[in-house]
Chains A and B, each alone.
Chain A
Amino acid sequence: MPSTDLGLDTLPKLLIHNASAIGGRPAMRHKDLGIWQAWTWAQMLEEVRAFSIGLAERGLKRGDKFTIIGNNRPRLYWAMCAGQALGAVPVPVYADAVADEMAFVLAHAEVTLAVVQDQEQVDKIIAVSDRLPHLGQVIYDEPRGLKDYDHSRLIAFEDVQGLGRKKLASDPECLRLWQAGVAVGKGSDLSVILYTSGTTGRSKGVMLTYENTIVSARNANGFDRLDQNEEVIAYLPLAWVGDYIFSYVQSYVAGYCVNCPEAPDTVVQDRREIGTTYAFAPPRVYENILTLTTVRMADAGALKRKVFDFFIAVAARWGQKILDGEKVPLRARLLYGIGNLLVYGPLMNQFGLSRVRVAYTAGEAIGPEIFRFWRGIGLNLKQLYGQTEASVYVTAQPDGEIYSDTVGKASPDVEVKISDNGEVLYRSPGVFAGYYKDPDKTAEVLTPDGWVHTGDAGFFDPKSGQLKIIDRAKDVGRLSDGTVFAPKYIENKLKFYPNIREAVAVGASRDFVCAMINIDLTSVGSWAERNNVVYGSYQELAANPQVYDMIARHIDEVNRSLAEEEVMAGAQIRRFLILHKELDPDDGELTRTQKLRRGHIIDRYGPLVEAFYNGAATAEISTEVTFEDGHKGVIAARLAIRDMQAYPARTAKLERAA
C-alpha cells in the first residue's frame, strides 16, 4: 500500500513504488479483440519506461509540453506518465475537439510532441499544422489508414517503445539515468495542464502540480475508503480533470485497477463484465440510462410494465430509507426484497452497477427525481462539487448524509466560505498554480491568500449544513419586476422529463421567463413510432404540433411546481418554443462537457428571444452549423411559439421528503 511518507510525491515515483510493492496486482485492463488484456503494475512500469526512454531518444526533455489526444486507452495513459518521468508536461485535449479548437490549445501550450490515438486525430493535426510552429513529432497508437502518410514526422507507439527497449538493452547506464531523472521530480513541479472547456470564451490552461493532484487523490481515497481492490472503468474524456484524477492519480495512489473499454459505445457491456465498484459520471449518464429504461418499459408487455411500475413506486417510498439504514416496517422490507429480486437487481446488473459501492455524480445539478430513482433502487449515488482549479474536490456527501439538492460538506483539507455577494470560495492543497500564460485571469480567480472564486452562487443549507449551489453567480439575474431568476434551476426542472434533452431559460431584465427546448430524439422518437407519427429528421419531429402539445404539458407541470415555491413563483414559463436543431459543442452552444454556453446561445438565437417578447406567434431563424471536419452549412427554420398559463403563487403546506 503506497503511503505518504516515502517521498512518493510524483506519479512516476508512485508507479515505481507500486511496481515493487504490489507488482503482481492488476494495474490496467483493456478489452481488445474481444478479450480483456491485463497489465500488472510491474508490467505497466516496463511499458511506461520503454516508452519514456523512447520519448527521450526522440528528443522530449524536461519542461517540454506534449499533448495526448484520443479515447481512454492504456497507451495514452502510459504516455502521460512516460512524459512526466522525463519532467515533461502533458496537455491532454478532448478527442472530439474540432481542428480549430485543438489548434488553439496546442499553440497556446507550445506543444512540441503529440501522442494520438488514430488517423482521425492525425488528420486534424495535419489540417492545422501550419498554426503549430512548435509541434515536431506525432506518435500514433493505431496504424490503420496511415500507411500512405508521410512518415517523416509520424511514428508508431510501438516503434517508440522499441527505441526505448533497444536503448535499455544496449546501454547499461540508461536505466540508472532514467531513474535518476524520475528522482529529480518533486511535488511542487508542474504535472499537467488541463484546458477547461470554459463556459465563457476561450479555454484556459489550468496548471496543476503533483502535490495538488496527489493530495486531493489521497484525501478522496481516504474519504470513501478506496483501496487496491477497487475496479473502475475509464470512459470519460482524458482531458477532463475528473478522468485525470479518477482514472490516473487516484489509481496510482490507491493501487486500484483501471479498465479501458473496447470502444466508446461498448462501455455499458464492458462495465457489466468488469463489475466496477466505484463510479463517477456526470448526471447525463444517469439520466440517459433512466431514459433508456423508461423507453424500453413503454414498449414492454402490460404485465411487465405493471410489475415495474409497482416496484419502482415501492423503491421510491422505501429504498432510500433502507439504503440509509433507517428503521422501516417489515412489510416494506419484504416488498423491497421482492422488488430487488424482480426489478432493481436485474436493472442494476443490466447496466453493470451491481457491485458499485460508491457512485458519484458531478459537473452539473442532477434532477431530484433521477437522484431519488437511483438511490431508491439501491445505488449509493452521492453528489460532489468540484472544479478543475481545485483538482476536483471541493465538497462531497459523506455516506448516510445524502440529499438530492445539496452537494455535500467540505472535502478533507478544504475550506469553503460564502462571500458577501453569495459566491462560493474555497481554499485547499489542491488549489491550482495558475492559468498557463495568463496571470490576469489567474488574479481574477485566485486571491493572494489562496482562496479561489468559483463563480457559483450558493449557500449552506441550515438544516443539513451542506452546501447548495443555485446557479452560476453571473447567471442569477432578476426579472424586470425584481423577481429572482435562476435559469439553471428552471432548466433542471425541465430536463427531468425524458422527452426534454436540453432547455434554455431566458428572462434576465425582461418581463417574464421564456424557454427554448431541445427534445430528446431517443425518447420522443420512440413515442413517435408508437403513435404513428412520421418524421424524417430532428427538425421535422421538433416542429410537430403533437410534440409541442406534449412539451406544453411538461411545462405546465413545471409551472405548477414553481408556483409552490415562494421565491420562484414569479419565474414561471410564459412562452416556449422547440429549437430546430440540437445544441452542439461543435457550434459552441455547449461546452465539451455538455454544459450550456448561455451567453453564446442567447446571441446566436437573438431573433427568437426578440420574438418571445414582441408577442409574435412564429419566429424565423437561420443558423450556421459547423461539422466535425470544420466545414460549415446553414439551417433555416420558422418556429412556432406557444403561450403558457401561469399559476398564482402558493406555498406548499407539506414539505416534501428530501
Chain B
Amino acid sequence: MRAPSSREAALGEALLAVEDVSLAFGGVQALTGVSFDIRKGEIRAIIGPNGAGKTSMLNVINGFYQPQSGRITFKGKERASMRPYAAAEGGIARTFQNLALFRGMTTLDNILAGRALKMRRGFFWQLIRYGPALREEVEHRQRVEEIIDFLEIAAIRKIPVGRLPYGLQKRVELGRALAMEPDLLLLDEPMAGMNLEEKEDMSRFILDVNQQYGTTIALIEHDMGVVMDLSDRVVVLDYGRKIADASPDDVKSDKNVIRAYLGEPHGVSV
C-alpha cells in the first residue's frame, strides 16, 4: 500500500510526547508509567486487549483526564494540565468510540459545528448575518463543502444524521473533526461496527487525510488487518502498561504482545 522507506524520511520530529504518565481512578490504575511519542505526519496506532487503557490514553492526550503524574509535551510545549477546550484550540481533534453527533442536525450542520472554534464574529453579528459575519460564514461553508466532497457524502448533506446508517455517521463524525483543521487527529475505533466495505472506505479516507492534509493521526483500533495496513508505528498497551512500541511487522511477532492477546504464544490473529 505504501513504501515504508520513503515514508520514514518524510516523518518529522515529535509532535506530541507522553512521558511516564500514570492515571488512576480511586484504586484502579488505568495507566502506569506510559511513555511514547507521536511524530509529525505519521499514523500512530494504539492497540491492546479490552481494558488496556487505550481510550484513557486518548482522554489524557486531549485533556479530558488529568494524569496524576507524568509529562505531556505538545508542539514543543510541556503542559501540566489542560482542558479539552484548550486542547481543541491547540489543534487536537477527536472522534468517539460511540459517536457523539447532534442527531437532529443535518450532516452539513454537524460538520459546520466543527468550525465553531474558528468563528471570529460574535453571537450578535452571526444572528443578523450581515457584512463580515456573512463573509465569514461563506468561508466556513466553503471549507465544510470541501470536506463533504472529500468524504464523498454529498448525497446526505441535508439529511439529519440520526437517520443515517452507522457507517455513514462515523464518516460524518470524521468530517466534523476534520473541520477543525487539526494538527493531531485522535480516532477512537473508527471502524467499530462496520462491514468490510465500509472499513475499506474508511481506511482510504484515513490514508487520504494523512496524505492530503498532512494531518498526524493517532488511532485506536481492534481490527488488526486495518492497523497493520494503515499505521507507521504501533504502541501496545496491556493493563495500563506499555508492552511494545515498534513497526507493525515487529509488533506482530513480539512475544509480549502475543501473550497479552492470546495468553499462549501462538501468533496474533491478523
Q: Do A and B bind each other?
A: yes
Say whether B155 contacts A148, CB under 8 Å: no
Across the interface, A144 reaches (CB within 8 A) one of B6, B142, B155, B208, namely B208
Please give the distance in Å from A347's CB to the nearest CB on chain B.
Answer: 20
State A263–B145 Cα separation when bound (angstroms): 13
Say whether A147 contacts B211, CB under 8 Å: yes
B interface: dominant SS: helix
- Does residue A269 face the partner (Cβ distance < 8 Å to B)? yes
Mask, A13-32, CB within 8 Å of B = 1, is: 00000000000000000001
State A145–B6 Cα separation when bound (angstroms): 16
Of A33, A147, A269, most B-chain CB atoms within 10 Å:
A33
Mask, A144-170, CB within 8 Å of B = 1, is: 110110000000000000000000000
Say whether B145 contacts A144, CB under 8 Å: no
Please give the distance in Å from B51's CB to the nearest CB on chain A.
Answer: 30
- Does residue A301 face the partner (Cβ distance < 8 Å to B)? no
Contacts A33-B142, A33-B149; is A266 near B154 (CB within 8 Å)? yes
State A34–B3 Cα separation when bound (angstroms): 36
- The residue on B at minimum CB distance from A143 is B212
Say whether A269 contacts B212, CB under 8 Å: no
State A32–B155 Cα separation when bound (angstroms): 12
- The residue on A at minimum CB distance from B142 is A33
Say whether A148 contacts B154, CB under 8 Å: no
Of B142, B145, B155, B207, most A-chain CB atoms within 10 Å:
B155
- Does residue B152 face the partner (Cβ distance < 8 Å to A)? yes
Please give the distance in Å from A115's CB to the nearest CB on chain B.
Answer: 21
A266 partner residues in chain B, CB cutoff 8 A: 154-155
Say whether A263 contacts B155, CB under 8 Å: yes
- The residue on A at minimum CB distance from B145 is A33
State A148–B204 Cα separation when bound (angstroms): 14
Please give the distance in Å from B138's CB to the nearest CB on chain A.
Answer: 10
State A639–B154 Cα separation when bound (angstroms): 40
- Does residue A227 face the partner (Cβ distance < 8 Å to B)? no
- Does residue B47 face the partner (Cβ distance < 8 Å to A)? no
B199 partner residues in chain A, CB cutoff 8 A: none
- Does residue B78 face the partner (Cβ distance < 8 Å to A)? no
State A263–B151 Cα separation when bound (angstroms): 12
Across the interface, B154 reaches (CB within 8 A) one of A144, A145, A147, A263, namely A263
Please give the distance in Å from A339's CB to the nearest CB on chain B.
Answer: 28
- Does residue B113 face the partner (Cβ distance < 8 Å to A)? no
Contact residues, B186-242 vs A (CB, 8 A): 204, 207-208, 211-212
Mask, B88-123, CB within 8 Å of A = 1, is: 000000000000000000000000000000000000
State A35–B142 Cα separation when bound (angstroms): 10
- Does residue B146 face the partner (Cβ distance < 8 Å to A)? yes
- Does residue A130 face the partner (Cβ distance < 8 Å to B)? no
- Does residue B178 face the partner (Cβ distance < 8 Å to A)? no
B208 partner residues in chain A, CB cutoff 8 A: 144-145
Say whether B152 contacts A263, CB under 8 Å: yes
Of A34, A35, A148, A266, most B-chain CB atoms within 10 Å:
A34
B152 partner residues in chain A, CB cutoff 8 A: 263
- The residue on A at minimum CB distance from B150 is A144
- Does residue B161 face the partner (Cβ distance < 8 Å to A)? no
Say whether B212 contacts A34, CB under 8 Å: no
- Does residue A189 face the partner (Cβ distance < 8 Å to B)? no
Please give the distance in Å from B248's CB to the nearest CB on chain A.
Answer: 19
Say whether A144 contacts B146, CB under 8 Å: no
Contacts A145-B208, A147-B212, A148-B211; is A33 near B146 (CB within 8 Å)? yes
Contacts A144-B150, A263-B155, A269-B155; is A34 near B211 (CB within 8 Å)? no
Mask, B36-55, CB within 8 Å of A = 1, is: 00000000000000000000
- Does residue B61 face the partner (Cβ distance < 8 Å to A)? no
A33 partner residues in chain B, CB cutoff 8 A: 142, 145-146, 148-149
B3 partner residues in chain A, CB cutoff 8 A: 148
State A32–B154 Cα separation when bound (angstroms): 10
Say whether B157 contacts A144, CB under 8 Å: no
- Does residue A262 face the partner (Cβ distance < 8 Å to B)? yes
B150 partner residues in chain A, CB cutoff 8 A: 144
- The residue on B at minimum CB distance from A142 is B149
- The residue on B at minimum CB distance from A265 is B155
A147 partner residues in chain B, CB cutoff 8 A: 211-212
Contact residues, B1-16 vs A (CB, 8 A): 2-3, 6
B148 partner residues in chain A, CB cutoff 8 A: 33-34
Say whether B211 contacts A262, CB under 8 Å: no
- The residue on A at minimum CB distance from B147 is A33
Say which size band chain A's interface belongs to: 10 to 19
State A263–B155 Cα separation when bound (angstroms): 8
Say whether A262 contacts B212, CB under 8 Å: no
State A563–B146 Cα separation when bound (angstroms): 58
Say whether B157 contacts A34, CB under 8 Å: yes
Contact residues, A106-165 vs B (CB, 8 A): 144-145, 147-148
Say whether A34 contacts B145, CB under 8 Å: yes
A144 partner residues in chain B, CB cutoff 8 A: 150, 208, 212
State A281–B185 Cα separation when bound (angstroms): 44
State A145–B209 Cα separation when bound (angstroms): 9
- The residue on A at minimum CB distance from B153 is A263
- The residue on A at minimum CB distance from B207 is A145
Contacts A33-B146, A34-B145; is A145 near B155 (CB within 8 Å)? no
Across the interface, B211 reaches (CB within 8 A) one of A35, A145, A269, namely A145
Contact residues, B132-175 vs A (CB, 8 A): 141-142, 145-146, 148-150, 152, 154-155, 157
Please give the distance in Å from A652's CB to the nearest CB on chain B.
Answer: 45
B142 partner residues in chain A, CB cutoff 8 A: 33
Mask, A244-279, CB within 8 Å of B = 1, is: 000000000000000000110110010000000000
Please give the distance in Å from B137's CB to the nearest CB on chain A.
Answer: 13
Please give the distance in Å from B239's CB to the nearest CB on chain A.
Answer: 36
A145 partner residues in chain B, CB cutoff 8 A: 204, 207-208, 211-212
B155 partner residues in chain A, CB cutoff 8 A: 263, 265-266, 269
State A147–B154 Cα separation when bound (angstroms): 24
Please give the distance in Å from B207's CB to the nearest CB on chain A.
Answer: 8
State A474–B228 Cα separation when bound (angstroms): 53
State A8–B35 Cα separation when bound (angstroms): 74
State A34–B146 Cα separation when bound (angstroms): 9
State A567–B146 Cα separation when bound (angstroms): 60
Please give the distance in Å from B106's CB to the nearest CB on chain A.
Answer: 12
Please give the distance in Å from A78's CB to the nearest CB on chain B.
Answer: 20
Please give the distance in Å from A389's CB to the nearest CB on chain B.
Answer: 36
State A33–B147 Cα separation when bound (angstroms): 9
A32 partner residues in chain B, CB cutoff 8 A: 149
B149 partner residues in chain A, CB cutoff 8 A: 32-33
Please give the distance in Å from B252's CB to the nearest CB on chain A.
Answer: 23
State A147–B148 Cα separation when bound (angstroms): 20
Please give the distance in Å from B33's CB to the nearest CB on chain A.
Answer: 38
A262 partner residues in chain B, CB cutoff 8 A: 154
- The residue on B at minimum CB distance from A147 is B211
A265 partner residues in chain B, CB cutoff 8 A: 154-155
State A145–B1 Cα separation when bound (angstroms): 12
State A110–B157 Cα separation when bound (angstroms): 42
- The residue on A at minimum CB distance from B2 is A148
State A412–B6 Cα separation when bound (angstroms): 63
B212 partner residues in chain A, CB cutoff 8 A: 144-145, 147
State A356–B148 Cα separation when bound (angstroms): 30
Please give the distance in Å from A233's CB to the nearest CB on chain B.
Answer: 15
B207 partner residues in chain A, CB cutoff 8 A: 145
Closest CB pairs A-B (n = 3): A33-B145, A265-B155, A34-B145
Seed contacts A33-B149, A145-B212, A265-B154; 9 additional CB < 8 Å A-B pairs: A32-B149, A34-B148, A145-B208, A148-B211, A262-B154, A263-B154, A263-B155, A265-B155, A266-B154
Which B residues are within 8 Å of any A CB, using their own CB? 2-3, 6, 141-142, 145-146, 148-150, 152, 154-155, 157, 204, 207-208, 211-212
- 26 residue pairs A–B, Cβ–Cβ below 8 Å: A33-B142, A33-B145, A33-B146, A33-B149, A34-B141, A34-B148, A35-B145, A144-B208, A144-B212, A145-B204, A145-B207, A145-B208, A145-B212, A147-B211, A147-B212, A148-B2, A148-B3, A148-B211, A262-B154, A263-B152, A263-B155, A265-B154, A265-B155, A266-B154, A266-B155, A269-B155
